[in-house]
Amino acid sequence: MGDLLISTLSSEPQGVTWLLDWLLQQGYPIEEVVVIHTQAQPILQAAQTLAGEFPVAYPGLRLRLVALSESTRPVLDIATQADIWALLRALYAHIRAARFAGQRVHLSLVSGRKTMAVFGMVAAQLLFGREDRIWHMISSAPWGGAVKGLHPAAEARFTVVEVPFLRWDEAASAHLLLQESTDPWEALRRHAQISDGESLRRKRVFWNERLTEAQRRAAELLVREGLDNAALARRLGKSPRTVANQLTAVYRACEGWLGMPVNRAVFIAEFAPLFRGED
């Protein structure tokens, strides 16, 4: 199955076609283009321009125009939380459907409002696999009007760049999220739960495997009650020097684990979640 290009749309439809031309020239087997757009009149005119251009310039390549709406209301601009919801829902649904269909997805950040690019990145972070791509275009020339046509002229100067992003598709939790979450907000909530659970698991492994029993006793009392070394020494029946040495060793071990400097405040903040709700 061929690749899918997903793009948002501004009033300048060449934001879609320039990138599409470049992807085809690079040998990507694009067979379908999904254009997600608002319904203000200039945007609808741009969508009509694309609808007329595709049969001529890209015979055999499918174009799907997705007009955003919220309930029965057309979305004219990305200006409210409801508008953002409609946008994210559409992006998420089309990317998820492509993943299930086995298509490689190309997401364009070239056309449309910056807000649309931001939430495109959100959907990609949740759903993209290792083969999927995000693209942006850099051009110093003015965009639009008579200066740029639907296809770049030979003298056009522009650069297409691949946008890096955090890929987590190989984790078992990512496959679970793809399978179970049809709602993007629910997917974000589940992603946070999964991330928090993994973070707690790693903290428990460090606590149980990297600290001695004596270090754990001192560290737990520190995290739970925030006592100074003198108070810790009295509670533990040890000298302040012994407690200070134990905590120094704990901080150094934590520095090696986190890869950053660790002091009393950082250590307490890092491990407080282990004991939250137990006091």
Check residue 154 and give its pLDDT: 75
Structure tokens at 14: 């060449």
Q: Is the pLDDT of residue 140 over 70?
A: no
Q: Which of 49-53, 95-99, 102-106, 167-171 has the lowest mean pLDDT?
A: 167-171
Check residue 149 and give its pLDDT: 86
Check residue 279 and give its pLDDT: 45
Q: Is the pLDDT of residue 128 over 60?
A: yes
Q: What is the β-pairing status of strands 69-70 and 73-74?
A: antiparallel
Check residue 185 and give its pLDDT: 63
Residue scoring higher pLDDT (1 or 167): 1
* Domain 3-169 annotated CATH 3.40.50.10770: yes
Q: Is the pLDDT of residue 169 over 70?
A: no
What average pLDDT does the segment 246-269 reach? 91
Q: Alpha-carbon distance 254 to 57, whole Å?
A: 59
pLDDT confidence of 26, banded at 50, 70, 90? very high
pLDDT single digits (tens) 152-167: 887 778 899 999 876 6
CB atoms within 10 A of CB 262: 18
Q: Alpha-carbon distance 23 to 45, whole Å?
A: 24
- What are the residue ranges spanned by the domains of the chain? 3-169, 175-275
- Measured CA distances, 265 to 67, 229, 245, 250, 268 (Å): 51, 13, 17, 13, 5
What 8-state DSSP symbol labels residue 164?
P
Using CB atoms within 10 Å of the CB of residue 100, give its burial: 0 to 12 exposed, 13 to 18 middle, 19+ buried.
exposed
Check residue 199 and give its pLDDT: 77
H or E segment at 161?
A: strand 159-162
Dihedral class, residue 277 (left if φ above 0, else alpha if ψ from -120 to 50, else beta):
left
> What does the mean pLDDT of the chain come to?
86
Q: Is the pLDDT of residue 277 over 60?
A: no
